[in-house]
Structure 1
Amino acid sequence: MSVEENLGSSEGLTNNFGEIHNLTELLYLLNHTLSECYTELSENTKRAALFVLYLAIFVVGLVENLLVVFVNWRCPGRGELLRLYILNMAIADLCVVLSLPVWMLEVTLEYTWLWGSFSCRFAHYFYFANMYSSIFFLVCLSIDRYVTLTSTSPSWQRHQHRVRRAVCAGVWVLSALIPLPEVVHMQLVESTEPMCLFLAPLETYDTWSLVVALSTTILGFLLPLLLIAIFNVLMACWLRRKGQPEGRRHCLLLCAYIGVFIICWLPYHVTLLLLTLDGPHISLHCYLSHVLYFFYDIIDCFSMLHCVINPILYNFLSRSFQGRLLRAVVHYLPKVQARAGRRASSVSSSTQHSIIITKEGVQPTAADPHQHPGPSLPAPNASPSPLLLS
């Protein structure tokens, strides 16, 4: 997604507002204003770097989230109620990843939009709705994990299943509503090349841009960060008081949850707010403004790393998940080798069986022809705090 799609405003827009009569003049003003401050930054290098980043995030995120969805859907295991949040978060991250080819092609085509007016709005709506869903499920997971480990209320024990399902449904509905004010102003602009831009009415453009940017930062970063930090810190304090085994490891993971969220999202929201405020509300230095516009797309792409890191933090580091993943892989091993091993075991067993019956007259119990040929798997690690990595 380009900076023009989300911001579309530049310094000097307010001063020249009376001279703008149509979209063509608006686009000319934006390009002219930015080109006045020249810096040695290569757009070709930027597009190549973005293509590689999008492709890497797409491939790795697709594989990771498909595995998470598959394992949590097929092998729920212990604590499956709490894993309902992890499953829904993986689905949201998977949908974000599936939208990346569109942005990758848009960057390659120099932000030319070739897929029509409907897809212009739907692609942005699909991305933002799933982005909010992923963030909100992280919040729900942090809150629910603390409540589940510390609550002794019989009412919570009885109704937690229904509560979690209702919360997940509410998150999807809320995430579907929040992007609407921005998406309704997305338009396909037929200029020299068709572009998909955020275009509110010119008279209220600055107000709409500021409202959208502030709501995105508050609902998508500040409020979630506050809740994630509070409940993970409370969880760490509870673990230290209880003196749980592996408590230090769990505390480090809790800090990693907070740190990764900040690293992924803080640069994006700071850049978004600065560029939105630049011109109508504050005055940035010309070169700083140009650099922020140039790197905005790269920072936006960097924020999508959460789709790659979330599966690792919340799934692949879990011994329980590792065991369920191994069982799922073993289940789908090639059957030819399994059948060959079963036949060999059957022949050996029947020969030994007849010899033993002749000599002892007793049915042997060690050689069971119906035993599963696959390797025996250890039971999932019974961690004293399984909800931390479940």
Structure 2
Amino acid sequence: MSFQNVSCLGGNSSINCSVCPKENMTSWGHTMDQLYTFFYLIIFIPGLLGNSLALLVLCRFIRKKTKAIIFMINLAIADLLHVLSLPLRIYYYFNHTWPFGKGLCLLCFYLKYLNMYAGIVFLVCISIQRCAFLMHPFCAKKWKRRYDVRISAAVWLVVGLCCSPFILMRSSSDSSSKSCFKDLPTRKLNLKLAATMMAFAELLGFVIPLAVIIFCSYRITQSLCSGLQAQQSESDKRKALRMVLVCTGVFLFCFAPYHINFLLYLMVSQDVITNCPMRLVVKHFHPISLCMASLSCCLNPIIYYFLTTEFRQQLSRHGSSVLRGRLMSLESSSSFRE
């Protein structure tokens, strides 16, 4: 977005924003492209391998779909969708041109936010289910796998619809444009509509999920300290607490910086904030916060491995069987040669 024709107040005088930040924003634009390129290159392979392996193990080798496994599968799908779009993002930021058409550009742009908010909701679902099953073990026994499937379908539908404004705000009438992602023009909105969208996104996408995850952590900690819920062992309580605390940590590290900066960034994009230094700080931090959000694609598989006993057991068992098969094939080929 250009800073031209924006009046910035600096002290007692009015400063033209087209003068003060122009050179800085030009150099930062090049730095931003390099940041996106190298960061996406770094997370692509770990994200692809981690989430592909997670889906393989969760879907094929875990028969008992309890302990939020269905939600973990959907979380891995959300991460994998974003990871698969990274090569196209890397191509654009490296070559500074987009030859693949407007539709694919908007789809990749959309997948970024779909991954973010679907990931947030599924982290919340994992935390709620672990907490609820710990507090009410008899209800857990009656819980059906199809309930989780229906909840997951509802999450995809609602999140998919709620993320559509992100591409509507970035759509342009120029179908021949070679720009994409951060270089897409932002549509101007009236102040009331912009404020409504801002409040809606922050409340449903950050504040309420954060409050729910913290509440789940508090309830499990309270149960662990008070010795209530005798039906559950201390080990189960500690496992549930670790799961929810790690979900909280991933949530705060990956998504809190983006949502804190998002309020300011939207006000900058709509020219509500006109102070030059403030606009520069917000715009500079925006790509960093997006990179931190993308890092969840690599961190979420850690949840599956270190906090789900069944995942570790099945992965170790499968890995051992593959290793034994290869050793047997090597022994047979060696015997044949002899």
Q: Is the TM-score greater than 0.5?
A: yes
Return 5+ residue gaps in structure 1 as ranges.
1-7, 16-31, 345-390
Q: As a proportion of its length, which structure holds more helix?
A: 2
- The correspondence of residues 320-335 of structure 1 with structure 2, limited to 5 A, is 320-333=310-323, 335=325
Partner residue in 2 for 1:178 = 162
1:108 aligns to what?
Answer: 94
Q: Does 1:267 align with 2:224?
A: no
Relative to structure 1, the CA distance from residue 240 to residue 9 in structure 2 (aligned partners, 3 Å threshold; closer, same or farther) is: farther
Q: Which amino acid aligns with 1:59?
A: I
Matches within 5 A, 1:15-54: 33=17, 36-37=20-21, 42-43=27-28, 44-54=30-40
Partner of 2:207: 222
DSSP 3-state at the match of 1:115 = coil
Select which of 48, 65, 71 maps to 1:62.
48
SS at match of 2:234: coil
- Where does 1:60-209 land on structure 2 (aligned, <5 Å)? 60-80=46-66, 82-110=68-96, 112-153=97-138, 157-188=141-172, 190=174, 194-196=178-180, 197-200=184-187, 202=188, 204-209=189-194
8 Å contact 2:258–2:289 — kept in the other structure?
yes
Q: Answer whether contact 2:304 2:311 (CA < 8 A) is retained.
A: no
1:279 Cα deviation from its structure 2 partner: 7.9
CA contact (8 A) 1:11 1:33 kept: yes
Change (3 A) 1:271 1:216: same
Contact 1:264–1:306 under 8 Å retained in 2: yes
Looking at structure 2, the residues matched to 49 and 121 of structure 1 have their Cα atoms a distance apart, in angstroms, of 21
Amino acid at match of 1:176: G
CA distance in 2, matches of 1:117, 1:280: 23
Taking the TM superposition and a 5 Å limit, the aligned residue runs for 1:300-339 are 300-333=290-323, 335=325, 337-339=327-329
How many Å separate the matches in 2 of 1:236 and 1:287? Answer: 43
CA distance in 2, matches of 1:182, 1:198: 12
TM-score (norm 2): 0.79
Query: Which has the higher Rg, Structure 1 or Structure 2?
Result: 1
TM-score by length of 1: 0.70
- Aligned counterpart for 2:226 among listed residues 241, 252, 266: 241
Distance 2:216 2:113 in 1: 25
Query: Secondary structure at the residue paired with 1:114?
Result: coil
Between stretches 334-343 and 47-56, larger displacement belongs to 334-343
Q: Which residue identity lines up with residue 304 of structure 2 in the other structure?
A: Y
Residues 51 and 79, structure 2, Cα contact 8 Å, conserved in 1: yes
Give RMSD over aligned pairs. Answer: 3.4
* Per-residue deviation, 1:276: 1.7
Q: 1:65 to 1:282 in 2, by over 3 A?
A: same
Aligned residue pair count: 318
Q: 3-state SS of the aligned residue for 2:179?
A: strand
- Verify the 8 A CA contact 1:82 1:144 in the aligned structure 2: yes
TM-superposed CA distance for 1:314, in Å, is: 3.5
Moved over 6 A (4+): none
Q: Alignment identity in percent?
A: 26
